[in-house]
């Protein structure tokens, strides 16, 4: 079952557009705020708030494999077994979590 992301705002981070929105990440779960960003030719999403102390990841540094929180610099894998990222698809102006 795919999930529609409800985009709330668009942010320019050093020339890269990112989006903050709402989506239910698990079945029957309340919507949570997420960050969507371009990644390796597609789009990726993460929960908006950092797992360490809850800072927004909007202005984080993002590489191919890592997202680095701007508040204390904790690094989180985007991919793999412990990765916090998930794939997002863009269809026109809509974003979908497949
Ligand atoms: S709140 Fe993100 S590293 Fe501390």
Query: What CATH number has the domain bearing residue 59?
Result: 2.102.10.10
Structural domain including 22 reads: 3-97
Q: How high is the pLDDT of residue 1?
A: 75
Put simply, whether the predicted model's pTM sits higher than 0.75 gets the answer: yes
Please compute the mean of the pLDDT values over residues 86-97 and round it to a whole number: 96
Which residues lie below 8 Å from residue 77, measured CB to CB, with a gap of 6+? 65, 66, 83, 84, 85
11 lines ligand 1 (CB under 6 A): no
Residue of 52, 59, 66, 84 to test ligand 1 pocket, by largest number of atoms within 8 Å of CB: 52
What is the 91 CA–ligand 1 centroid distance (Å)?
32
Give pLDDT tens digits for 18-70: 999 999 988 888 999 999 999 999 999 999 999 999 999 999 999 999 999 99
Number of domains in the chain: 1
CA dist 47 → 67, 76, 92 (Å)? 11, 12, 22
49 lines ligand 1 (CB under 6 A): no
Give pLDDT tens digits for 3-27: 999 999 999 999 999 999 999 988 8
Tokens in use for 63?
Answer: 């590489």
């Amino acid at each position: 079952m795919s999930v529609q992301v409800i985009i709330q705002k668009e942010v320019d981070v050093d020339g890269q557009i990112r989006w903050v929105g709402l989506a239910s990440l698990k079945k029957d779960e309340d919507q949570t705020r997420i960050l969507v960003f371009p990644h390796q030719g597609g789009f990726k999403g993460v929960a908006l708030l950092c797992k360490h102390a809850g800072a927004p990841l909007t202005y984080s540094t993002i590489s191919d494999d890592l997202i680095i929180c701007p508040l204390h610099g904790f690094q989180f894998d985007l991919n793999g077994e412990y990765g916090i990222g998930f794939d997002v698809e863009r269809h026109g102006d809509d974003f979908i979590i497949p």
